[in-house]
Structure 1
Amino acid sequence: MTDQTPDITNDIEHHRTWRHVFGLAWPMTINAVMLHGTVVIDAYLVSSLGESALAAMGLAAAIAGFVLGAILAFSNAMQIRTAQAFGTNDPVFVKSTLVSGLAVSLTVGGVGLIILALFGGSLINAMAPTNDIAGMARGYLAVFSIVILGEAVGQCLSSYFNGCGRTRVPLYSFCLSLPINVIASIVLIHGYAGLPAFGVTGAALGSALAVCIQVVFLVIQLWRVDAALAKIRGWRQSTFALTVYRHLSFSLPIAATFISATFAAHICTLIYANLSLNEFAAMTLITPWIMVAGTIGMQWAQATGIIVAQLLGQQPSAAVLDRFLSSAWRAGFVAALFVALIYAGICLSATYLYADLSLETRTILLGFLPILLILPFPKQSNAICGNTLRASGDTIYVMHIFVWSQWLFRVPATALAVLVFNVPVFWVLSLLFVEELIKFPIFHRRLFQGNWKRAQVAT
């Protein structure tokens, strides 16, 4: 199970530094940027159709995001579990993690599609400000279901490759699918090359075509590199059912953390729909950018967690872990600075990026700049703490920090700010920063206690 990516699980006597994190993080970052960039691309291409089309896409994407977020949540757990298995160098453990992860991801995606089919249209009708926006949103959501099914397979396989240290494979898959997404979306939105103009739905059609091609590529790469796993007999536990149960018991706290974060984010997006049209359009545009640029810091933290999980699988000394984490942490703040500079560039160039939108919408985007300059720093430090603790198996504690900060603070605070007090949209966005400040002391106290260094992960 090797490719051109260096094997970081062997010889733990080597001094692990930020350079090893960078070797994993840069493909993961580009990969994640392309993943979140799907929504940014759709938003950018649809923005030429006006605020109503943009609002319809934002509403449909928020509803579909509940299911897609659940898939991504279990994929994040899959990534850490794979890193632990890969660190033990046990092929039965690796095979068990891969098959269990696929079974769980497909089940989550299938159940999610059923829920969307039953309730998605009614929710759109209840939330959309006009019937035209509701119709466009329903069309986008119907086609986007194909994307959800593809991501159920694609994200699981991408997480498997990341956990094994082969982070370039998912990157190559997105390098293949992204141009297809852009070209197909442009053609289908506007009806070029003799095809009908599908409008908002065309953006979803382009994304669906791209994700199908991406999944085919990942399956081919899995068979090419790891076909030998199919010949491995037995499971990590005595039966496949017990193996899936063990995988779930590890994954659920991590998945619950990400599901909670996704649900909270999309509920806040639905609350944002009660802002003025220009404010909601500005939030619809900046939120994907926050995710896209923020992935630089988040993928750095996840790469740190992967290496910690692999090292813990080999039971290194505390000194090895301390040296590695200190180096990775210092470089993480450089990543946070880079994120802040990207946010600055987006806000300052809003006039040129979104020239088709009204002056008021572009002015609101520029006004977001102060809070976006400081948001990445506490967020980066919290992310490194969270991923390190998850890698050691301390998943329930991390889950509590995220869940309670979201549901006891961010969601109710957003509802009060928008629905009750009608505060300016700048202060609504600032709630993201306040949430990070709340989590900061709780995360860091747990990490500095040091119990994570003595974790037994090979179970």
Structure 2
Amino acid sequence: MPSSRHVLALAWPMTVKAIFLHGTVVIDAYLVSSLGEAGLAAMGLAAALAGFVLGAILAFANAMQIRTAQAVGTRDPVFLKSALASGMAVSLAVGLAGLTIIWVFGAALIGWLAPTGEIAQQAQQYLSVFSLVILGEAVGQCLSSYFNGCGETKIPLYSFCLSLPVNVACSIVLIHGYWGLPAFGVAGAAMGSVIAVFVQVGFLAFRFFRNSGHILRIPGWHQPGFAATLNRHLAFSLPIAATFLSATVAAHVCTLIYAKLSVNEFAAMTLIAPWIMVTGTVGMQWAQATGIIVAQLLGQKEEEAVLDHFLASAWRGAFVAAGLVSALLLAVCLSANVLYADLSTETRSLLLVFLPVLLILPFPKQSNAICGNTLRASGDTIYVMHIFIWAQWLFRVPATAVAVLYLDLSAVWVLSFLLWEELIKFPAFHRRLWRGDWKRSDISD
């Protein structure tokens, strides 16, 4: 009978990979920073545009991860092949659609947003090369989700551990033109990313064909024909993708509103936001691993007692993960004088004022994440989407706007809206889960 130990076995490689992924952004910025503010601004502008496309690919990859886990649970190889083929088709379609939009509107948008012509030119050079990364990620994220859904979460981690040093080494050489090569500047950082992503995809493809390549030779589809199979996959995936995309857009909108705070308050919010995201990875990956196992159990048509026992064990582990997140945020705030010694005393003191919110936030957030991923695993994706979207756009975004633009409330009140959002979602998630319909879901269609 699966327990929290099985969740941990799946979650820790996913967590390490996610943290490494956040760290890569920091490393790339550090490597480009040697070119000066113009190069850094150009990379940031181009990466922001490409980030929307990569975010969409990742959103659909998360949906495919659950669909794959359902197929693994049913032990139906046709279902498994169908999930992979449908997921790959959707991922490539999203990547190509995003690239088309960038090719058509990217230059004009960069020219409008860039403060100088030099920055605009460098951003376009970076983006033209980085387009290959988007295509590589469309394939790589799909294969990573396939392995995660199968319970082999270490393979995507190994692929990232292999590609990360390649990315750093190639970027350094190509940015500065070592070993007799031309110095490509900002475009060299994009070239390093291209080389790394193809190394990553090559490793994932090799492991797939070695471990599971036989499923591609199985005749037939899970639905009558591939078109019907793809439509069924989209019906499952779109609500999950919409949830992730809505969260991304809402976060960007709130960040723009934060800019209207005082300089010290905005600086404090800017400092704490990445820490909330990075430390929260621990809890979110635990919840996703829980959803993978629930999807597999539902595919196996396990008895309700087994599902209840597993979820209770996973929930206990989730609160341990939430406690760890709180402890990490506490350490960050208490170390503010060391980490941010160059900043003003007022800015550093605000991090301590944030502490009550930061210490409580992980617990309802973690519990909601367990509910959301469990309901998604049962196919109840539209209900979960509604909870997230309405909580974001009917509460957090307008409340943030009113508090900052009209009421002139302090930053700690603005940050507290993250906690209030989780408390608003709490009864809707838990009432749905406790009703128990998810335990009787038929996910074999």
Instruction: Give your verdict on TM over 0.5.
Output: yes
- Matched ranges for 1:273-312 at <5 A: 286-312=272-298
Q: Is the 8 A contact 2:10 2:151 kept in 1?
A: yes
Matched residues in 2 for 1:182 and 1:111: separation?
Answer: 29
> How many Å apart are 1:316 and its aligned residue?
1.4
- 266-275 vs 212-221, which moves further: 266-275
Other structure's SS at 1:233 match: coil
> How many Å apart are 1:378 and its aligned residue?
1.5
Q: 1:41 maps to which residue?
A: 27
Matched residues in 2 for 1:442 and 1:85: separation?
Answer: 28
Q: 2:70 maps to which residue?
A: 84
Q: 2:85 maps to which residue?
A: 99
Q: 1:20 maps to which residue?
A: 6
- Relative to 1, partners in 2 of residues 1:187 and 1:288: Cα closer, same or farther, differing over 3 Å? farther
Per-residue displacement from partner, 1:81-131 (whole Å, max 9, x unpaired)?
000101011111111111111000000011011112333444445555666
- 395-404 vs 424-433, which moves further: 424-433
Q: 1:363 maps to which residue?
A: 348
Matched residues in 2 for 1:198 and 1:354: separation?
Answer: 33
Matched residues in 2 for 1:360 and 1:131: separation?
Answer: 37
Q: 1:377 maps to which residue?
A: 363
Q: Is the 8 A contact 1:88 1:313 kept in 2?
A: yes
Q: 1:11 maps to which residue?
A: none
Q: Is the 8 A contact 1:286 1:365 kept in 2?
A: no
Matched residues in 2 for 1:267 and 1:438: separation?
Answer: 20
- Relative to 1, partners in 2 of residues 1:360 and 1:213: Cα closer, same or farther, differing over 3 Å? farther
Q: Is the 8 A contact 1:379 1:436 kept in 2?
A: yes
> How many Å apart are 1:33 and its aligned residue?
1.9
Which of 258, 262, 266 is the equivalent residue of 2:244?
Answer: 258
Q: Is the 8 A contact 1:36 1:288 kept in 2?
A: no
Q: 1:175 maps to which residue?
A: 161
Q: 1:158 maps to which residue?
A: 144
- Relative to 1, partners in 2 of residues 1:263 and 1:48: Cα closer, same or farther, differing over 3 Å? same
Other structure's SS at 1:458 match: coil
Cα RMSD for the two superposed structures: 3.2
- Relative to 1, partners in 2 of residues 1:103 and 1:281: Cα closer, same or farther, differing over 3 Å? farther
Other structure's SS at 2:212 match: helix
- Does structure 1 residue 314 correspond to structure 2 residue 303? no
Q: Is the 8 A contact 2:268 2:348 kept in 1?
A: no
- Matched ranges for 1:282-431 at <5 A: 286-349=272-335, 359=344, 363=348, 366=351, 370=355, 371-418=357-404, 424-431=410-417
Other structure's SS at 2:249 match: helix
- Relative to 1, partners in 2 of residues 1:77 and 1:174: Cα closer, same or farther, differing over 3 Å? same
- Relative to 1, partners in 2 of residues 1:432 and 1:206: Cα closer, same or farther, differing over 3 Å? farther
Matched residues in 1 for 2:182 and 2:393: separation?
Answer: 44
Which amino acid in 2 is paired with 1:403?
A: I
Matched residues in 1 for 2:395 and 2:171: separation?
Answer: 38
Per-residue displacement from partner, 1:282-335 (whole Å, max 9, x unpaired)?
655544443332111111001101111110111111111111101100110111
Q: Is the 8 A contact 1:84 1:309 kept in 2?
A: yes
- Does structure 1 residue 237 correspond to structure 2 residue 223? yes
**Identity of counterpart residues, as a percentage?**
69
Q: Is the 8 A contact 1:65 1:266 kept in 2?
A: no
- 179-188 vs 222-231, which moves further: 179-188
Q: Is the 8 A contact 2:283 2:325 kept in 1?
A: yes
Q: 1:8 maps to which residue?
A: none
Matched residues in 1 for 2:193 and 2:412: separation?
Answer: 31
Matched residues in 1 for 2:257 and 2:163: separation?
Answer: 32
Matched residues in 2 for 1:315 and 1:309: separation?
Answer: 10
Q: Is the 8 A contact 1:268 1:414 kept in 2?
A: yes
Per-residue displacement from partner, 1:28-62 (whole Å, max 9, x unpaired)?
11122223333233345556777776666555444
Q: Is the 8 A contact 1:59 1:270 kept in 2?
A: no
- Relative to 1, partners in 2 of residues 1:274 and 1:150: Cα closer, same or farther, differing over 3 Å? farther
- 346-355 vs 298-307, which moves further: 346-355
Matched residues in 2 for 1:384 and 1:449: separation?
Answer: 15
Q: 2:95 maps to which residue?
A: 109
In the alignment, structure 2 segments of 5+ residues that lack a partner are none
- Relative to 1, partners in 2 of residues 1:248 and 1:230: Cα closer, same or farther, differing over 3 Å? same
Which of 253, 258, 269 is the equivalent residue of 1:267?
Answer: 253
Q: 1:5 maps to which residue?
A: none
In the alignment, structure 1 segments of 5+ residues that lack a partner are 1-14
- TM-score, with structure 1 as normaliser: 0.85
- Relative to 1, partners in 2 of residues 1:345 and 1:17: Cα closer, same or farther, differing over 3 Å? same
Q: 2:419 maps to which residue?
A: 433
Q: 1:6 maps to which residue?
A: none
- Relative to 1, partners in 2 of residues 1:428 and 1:392: Cα closer, same or farther, differing over 3 Å? same
Q: Is the 8 A contact 2:43 2:123 kept in 1?
A: yes
Matched residues in 1 for 2:268 and 2:173: separation?
Answer: 25
- Relative to 1, partners in 2 of residues 1:127 and 1:419: Cα closer, same or farther, differing over 3 Å? farther
